[in-house]
């Protein structure tokens, strides 16, 4: 506990005689902002991955939109589904085929 307090004081440059509640509020706001940013990156990563896969297989525009919306709502489900069932690299290694996107 003393080491954590010392490190937090050094990071936030708070003198020992200042109120330590200010440090807790600053760290909580920073943590919340960091979690929101990482959550957005995680979510939009799933959307971009679903959109690119839909382009790769030649899906219609409506199908791309529906799958992207589902990936936006359920990114934690989309990543494992992509890794286990949809990953084109997995199939190319198994079947020894080259990866060429579908051109429309």
C-alpha 11: how far from its chain's center?
A: 27
Hey, what are 34's tokens?
């960091």
Check: pTM over 0.85? Answer yes or no: no
* 96 Ramachandran zone, left/alpha/beta (phi>0; psi -120 to 50): left
Please, are residues 18 and 5 in contact by the beta-carbon 8 Å criterion? no
Q: What is the mean pLDDT of the chain?
A: 76
Q: What is the pLDDT of residues 6-22, one digit of tens each?
A: 556 655 655 555 555 55
17 or 56, greater pLDDT: 56
Highest mean pLDDT among 20-24, 31-35, 62-66, 81-85: 62-66
pLDDT > 90: percent of the chain: 33
Residue that the structure tokens 């003198």 belong to: 15
* Centroid of chain to Cα 68: 14
Return the top range by mean pLDDT from 64-68, 79-83, 89-93, 99-103: 64-68
* Residues 33 and 4: beta-carbon distance below 8 Å: no
Question: In terms of Cα–Cα distance, which of 57, 59, 63 is closest to 87?
Answer: 57
């Amino acid at each position: 506990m003393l080491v954590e307090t010392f490190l937090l004081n050094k990071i936030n440059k708070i003198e020992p005689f200042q109120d330590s509640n200010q440090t807790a509020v600053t760290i909580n706001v920073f943590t919340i902002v960091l979690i929101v940013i990482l959550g957005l990156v995680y979510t939009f990563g799933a959307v971009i991955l679903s959109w690119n896969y839909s382009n790769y297989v030649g899906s219609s525009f409506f199908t791309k939109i529906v799958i992207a919306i589902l990936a936006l709502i359920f990114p934690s489900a989309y990543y494992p589904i992509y890794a286990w069932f949809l990953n084109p690299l997995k199939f190319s290694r198994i079947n020894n085929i080259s990866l060429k996107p579908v051109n429309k």
